[in-house]
Chain A
Amino acid sequence: MCGIVGLHLRNPELYPQLGELLTGMLCEMEDRGADSAGIAVYGHEEWSPAGHGTISLIDLAAPAPEVAAELGANLGTEVEVRVVENVLLVHAPVASEVLLAAARGLYPHALVGGFGEDLAVLKGVGAPADLAAAWGLEKAQGWQGVGHTRMATESAVTAAGAHPYAVGPGECLVHNGSFSNHASIRRELRAAGVEFDSENDTEVGARFVAHALAQGKGVDDALGELTQTFDGFYTLLVSNRDSFAVVRDAIACKPAVIAETDDWVAMASEYRALAHLPGVANARIWEPEPEVIYHWSREGVPA
């Protein structure tokens, strides 16, 4: 099954409430999958300080001060490491790709949850409500957040199998469904030099989108190509630091509902995850059409 939630805030007055709203949405979707969960938050100063690159290292068995010292020596700059339960959020005043390359060199087997300028990705094994509490998600602030509750079908119940898949700079993808031709596409991407962290089908979708974006394609084109290339069932929520997009497969059996007000755009697997959002009574609510790409973006992200 699996559950997806996402919240794209338009009104800066709501930024302080992002974590609280996202926690409510995520926990409401626990019935759809309780073996693991993950979230991505855009713009939480404590988790991804402005002017710094941030990377998320999941379940790394190394003490935070040691990681900070080793990466700092490697990069020749000050590196900060914040421990959020099972995740190390590593910040440095360099591009996140530079930080990521250094971390991959030092810790080749570490699972990278995500990387970017304003992005923190947390994921782990366990019930969504327990994970959200352990991470302190309620206190997170920011302009955009996504979440996923997993009921594993295609690969093992591990942090590497949990969503989001955040495999491009500032990019993030969550998926409800299953891709049936992911093995063939993974082979083609590997042949093109793309590396993978897991045997998970969704990771192939995320790598496919990241590969297209890295080639300079826009979100709409990348998702359009995805619908033509991937076979299977999917509702996808694909985010960037300044965009928020939803797409469903042609059969559209995996649920999705979108709600929009002047203050926010939200999507979830089911309406009940949206039922507590402020102003939802007057929101425009609809079910996304199959193979139509719904895409919101922001001109400039207010700090």
Chain B
Amino acid sequence: MTTTFDLSAVGLREVNQALHAPDLDDEFLIENPLGAHNVAVGVNAPIKVTVNGHLGYFAAGMNQQAEVTINGNAGQGVAENMMSGVVHVTGSASQSAGATGRGGLLVIDGDAGARCGISLKGLDIVVGGSVGHMSAFMAQRGTLVVRGDAGDALGDSLYEARLYVRGEVRSLGADCVEKEMGPEHVQELAGLLKAAGFADDDPATYRRYGSARTLYHFHADNTY
């Protein structure tokens, strides 16, 4: 059963409370969001949510289990701290997409702004276009796949997240280095591209970046 909400007619709280009802397994359609913030945050059920239109801040934040599709653009912090499930943005996303995300898959068909995947903690992010500066800043775990270019200071102060970029990287951040693509990386990347709907991409056209691990292993003889 599909429940439809016209967000220009009903309040955001009513919509989000309906998405938080116990034992849900339905489908939901949200029309006319008109850039509203906090749409479909905190969902924790195996439901499908489709939003037709552009959204504001923190869309589908903290998502668990749900499959959320945004047919439009998303403002800053889309899918921030998501735990599981899938969030798919068919347009572009503003800054801090997938920030601190712990699990699941975030797909952005267009571009993502600055700080995409900042402080990533296990989420997989696939961006169809390019990402802005300081993406994957201090990212600890998970992956960031970029089919286009990356802005300045990619992977600054990176921990153990893995970054794959097909286009140009304007500059690498502190302690982020290019690394060899092993068979296990090709396999991982191919799986992510397939899951995100980009199965035709050849993983061999991507480069891998990761932490040089010199920044978070402190040396007793460091001098400043």
Contacts and interface: CB of A to CB of B under 8 A. Distances in A.
A255 interface: yes
Nearest to B133: A290
Contacts of B56: 270-272
Contact of A272 (B35, B76, B94, B95): B35
Interface string A239-279: 00000000000011101010000000000001111111000
B34 interface: yes
Contacts of B50: none
Interface string A279-302: 000000111011000000000000
Contacts of B210: none
B79 to A, nearest CB: 17
B42 interface: no
B73 interface: yes
A287 B94 contact: yes
Contacts of A271: 35, 54, 56, 73, 75
B36 interface: yes
A272 B34 contact: yes
Interface in B63-121: 73, 75-76, 92, 94-95, 113-114
B155 interface: no
B128 interface: no
Chain B interface residue number, banded: 10 to 19
Given A275-B34, A275-B35, A290-B133, A270 B92 contact: no
A31 B73 CA distance: 21
A286 B35 CA distance: 14
A287 B76 CA distance: 11
A289 B152 CA distance: 12
B76 A255 contact: yes
Contacts of A257: 94
B132 interface: yes
Interface string A73-97: 0000000000000000000000000
Contact of A252 (B35, B57, B73, B133): B133
Nearest to B73: A285
Contacts of B75: 255, 270-271
Interface of A: 251-253, 255, 257, 270-276, 285-287, 289-290
Interface of B: 34-36, 54, 56-57, 73, 75-76, 92, 94-95, 113-114, 132-133
22 contacts: A251-B114, A252-B95, A252-B113, A252-B133, A253-B114, A255-B76, A255-B95, A257-B94, A270-B35, A270-B57, A270-B75, A271-B54, A271-B75, A272-B36, A274-B35, A275-B34, A275-B35, A275-B54, A276-B34, A287-B113, A290-B114, A290-B133
Given A252-B95, A253-B95, A287-B94, 19 more contacts: A251-B114, A252-B113, A252-B114, A252-B132, A255-B76, A255-B94, A255-B95, A270-B35, A270-B56, A271-B73, A271-B75, A272-B35, A272-B36, A275-B34, A286-B92, A287-B92, A287-B95, A289-B132, A290-B132
